[in-house]
């Protein structure tokens, strides 16, 4: 049976979000029940996500814009002129499927309730939507199968936290303390799965609208994001690699707690390996596993949409 997932993402900023969202939509192992967008211009992110669902033959997939600001700040309009790096992919609503009638937190809660203990929430952006869903709809913790997060940073500094937790440590704390199973994966787990120049050229030459969309996203990311790397990375692929099994990403039991500092301080992530720990802590995919995952990624995104 396909693995039911909700993808919670800051798509439109770094390149891996759009790439792995396409991968999940075009992989028979996954059933993407909903997509929610988080952080900053979540409306623009929603448009990009809906463009991807439409191109990949999944226009019925509900997509909800989520929280603009981190917990506990009240949600409000973003500053004028704020833009996402790949915003040109969907500058307005023309030709897009309609957005969900629900907000991100309610869509997460409703989807989990419709499929109790079957849905995995994968978070590949700030954890604000997840935290708000668990606070506003506490039954969601019981209804979710698990929360799988790209947000650790365990290489060399076992107490460091990755960017997706650093943007909203309070929301991460809500997940850690909710009782839901939490799988925390390091951002560098997929460092052996970076796309090579020849693979980007294969996307350009594929003759598929879906591949052309991803190639265009890579171009916009390279042009508009100041810290874009020379090769597109697949950091967020770690959440789907874990769900695929095959020991792609090793995990071990442990305990995770977050210390929320004063406003001028930094949150710290405390990690303790423990055989009876309630959480799972991820490791890095081996080089051969990274190569296998990169090959699987290319196979899926270069295939015609599975629903067409």
* CATH number of 131's domain: 3.90.245.10
Whether residue 163 is contained in a domain is answered as yes
Pairing of strands 268-273, 251-259: antiparallel
Whether residue 307 is contained in a domain is answered as no
Helical residues (DSSP H) of the chain, grouped into ranges: 15-25, 42-55, 104-114, 128-136, 140-143, 163-166, 169-176, 197-205, 209-224, 237-244, 287-301
pLDDT at 308: 52
Q: In degrees, to the nearest 5, what angle opens at C-alpha 12 toward C-alphas 185 and 261?
A: 50
Measured CA to CA, the distance from residue 40 to residue 287 in angstroms comes to 35
Whether residue 54 is contained in a domain is answered as yes
The answer to whether 25 touches 17, Cβ cutoff 8 Å, is no
pLDDT at 26: 97
Structural domain harbouring 18 = 3-301
Instruction: Give the C-alpha distances (Å, rounded to integers) separating 296 from 75, 200, 230, 293, 303.
Output: 39, 14, 22, 5, 11
pLDDT at 256: 82
Whether residue 93 is contained in a domain is answered as yes
Non-local (6+) Cβ contacts of 282 within 8 A are 152, 183, 184, 185, 186, 189, 238, 242, 249, 250, 251
Whether residue 306 is contained in a domain is answered as no
Q: Please tell me what DSSP assigns to residue 161.
A: B
Other CB atoms within 10 Å distance of the CB of residue 274: 13
How many domains does the chain fold into?
1
Per-residue model confidence as pLDDT tens for the chain (308 residues): 899 999 999 999 999 999 999 999 999 999 999 999 999 999 999 999 999 999 999 999 999 999 999 998 878 778 676 789 999 999 999 999 999 999 999 999 999 999 999 999 999 999 999 999 999 999 999 999 999 999 887 655 555 678 898 889 889 989 999 999 999 999 889 999 999 999 999 999 999 999 999 999 999 999 999 999 999 999 999 999 999 998 899 999 988 877 767 676 666 777 778 899 899 999 889 999 999 999 999 999 999 997 65
Token reading at 204: 């350009």
Non-local (6+) Cβ contacts of 264 within 8 A are none
Angle between helices 197-205 and 287-301 (to 10 degrees): 10
pTM for the whole thing?
0.95
pLDDT at 234: 96
- As to burial, measured by CB atoms within 10 angstroms (0-12 exposed, 13-18 middle, 19+ buried), residue 305 is middle
Measured CA to CA, the distance from residue 213 to residue 240 in angstroms comes to 21
The answer to whether 107 touches 36, Cβ cutoff 8 Å, is yes
Which of 67, 64, 62 shows the shortest CA–CA distance to 31? 62
Which of 172, 169, 194 shows the shortest CA–CA distance to 183? 172
Whether residue 308 is contained in a domain is answered as no
Whether residue 291 is contained in a domain is answered as yes
pLDDT at 31: 98
Question: Cis bond leading into 232, ω under 30°?
Answer: no
């Amino acid at each position: 049976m396909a693995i039911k997932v909700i993808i919670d993402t800051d798509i439109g900023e770094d390149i891996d979000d759009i790439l792995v969202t396409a991968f999940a939509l075009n992989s028979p192992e996954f059933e993407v029940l909903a997509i929610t967008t988080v952080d900053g211009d979540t409306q623009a992110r929603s448009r990009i996500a809906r463009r991807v669902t439409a191109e990949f033959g999944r226009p019925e997939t509900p997509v909800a814009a989520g929280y603009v600001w981190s917990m506990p700040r009240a949600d409000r309009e973003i500053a004028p002129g704020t833009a996402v790096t790949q915003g040109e992919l969907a500058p307005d609503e023309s030709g897009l499927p309609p957005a969900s009638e629900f907000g991100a937190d309610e869509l997460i809660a409703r989807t989990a309730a419709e499929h109790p203990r079957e849905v995995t929430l994968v978070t590949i952006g700030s954890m604000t939507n997840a935290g708000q869903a668990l606070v506003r709809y506490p039954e969601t913790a019981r209804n979710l199968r698990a929360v799988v997060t790209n947000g650790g940073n365990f290489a060399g500094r076992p107490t460091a936290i990755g960017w997706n937790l650093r943007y909203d440590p309070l929301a991460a704390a809500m997940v850690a303390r909710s009782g839901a199973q939490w799988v925390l994966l390091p951002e560098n787990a997929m460092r052996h799965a970076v796309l090579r120049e020849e693979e980007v050229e294969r996307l350009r030459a594929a003759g598929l609208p879906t591949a052309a969309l991803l190639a265009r996203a890579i171009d916009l990311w390279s042009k508009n994001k100041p810290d874009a790397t020379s090769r597109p990375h697949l950091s967020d692929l770690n959440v789907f690699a874990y769900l695929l099994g095959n020991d792609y990403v090793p995990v071990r039991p442990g305990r995770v707690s977050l210390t929320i500092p004063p406003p001028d301080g930094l949150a710290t992530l405390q990690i303790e390996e423990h055989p009876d720990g309630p959480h799972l802590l991820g490791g890095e995919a081996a080089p051969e596993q990274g190569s296998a995952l990169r090959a699987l990624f290319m196979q899926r995104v270069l295939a015609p949409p599975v629903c067409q």
